[in-house]
Structure 1
Amino acid sequence: MITKLNHKKEDVSKEIYRVFQASYRIEAELLQVPFQDFPPLKRTVHGFQESTTNFYGFFKASELAAVIEIDIINNTTDICSLIVHPLYFRQGIAKELLDFAAKLHKSEFVIVETGLANKPAIALYETFGFVLLGKYKTSIGIEKVTFSLEKSNLT
């Protein structure tokens, strides 16, 4: 079940933080980036509370299993983060969250980015119909890729 999360509440932001830490540790390993240098792992509970983006959670029973963070910029849905707790990998949750995000707003495009070495995420985005927009390297040397989905291509 997907629910909008009230990230302004401390207990909710602590749960978001917990899932972020578990999931992004796996991505840091995939990207071969030390945990202490990986920007998503530097986010704090307070940072989540202060965020102006929207968070939606996927629950398995009463457990927060995954989170998608969305921002709407002009006519584009920007998926800022899409994370699944490692206990819930390979259950189709990320695909459900992508589908949810793509249909949530009347924006024309959906964009998302990930690390170039994050092959599972790239495979998911490509399977979903996202196309590669470009590649770049962050200031700390992480190679990233950006994908776009034109919503008129959704089935």
Structure 2
Amino acid sequence: MKKTAALLIITTSLFVSCNDKKNEEVVVPEEKAEKNVTETPSYEKMCFLKVTESKAEYNENRVIRDSIVFELEREGDSISGTFNWLPFEKDKKLSTFKGTLSGNTGNAIADYSAEGMNYKEELVFTLGENQVSIIYGEMIEGEDGIWKYKNKEAASTQTLSKVDCK
């Protein structure tokens, strides 16, 4: 019986050691893993500017420069920023906005301040590689008090060039 027990232990030990497979874990280096994943950056800030020039009606030798400044901060599909129209000689129109970005189209509600008045207005824009195109056109006041485009398809666009943020 001792021989049978010893033989059984030896046979079992040999069987287990022969069938012992090494479990190797495959580890993908982080560098390679990051290259295979295409995801939207979690935070990005972009700035755009357009400066228009015209001559003063009262003095043709004088050049008037108006500026349109659009600053956008994006985190995922949430956006916020400022959109300011800064005319040379007139009242300015300042706004802050919040909304969403779907693909390259932004939809936001802007809080405006212009000529002593405050109001909310729809803001729609399209991001290009080095520019932003902001639509503008006839607006009507909605029941919620927000001014919205009467017909987005009939609206015009104002294109601003991308610049370094200050």
TM-score normalised by the chain length of structure 1:
0.30
Higher strand share: 2
In our comparison, the structure showing a higher alpha carbon Rg is: 2
Structure 2 length normalisation: TM-score?
A: 0.28
Q: Which has the higher contact order (CA 8 A, sep 6+)?
A: 1
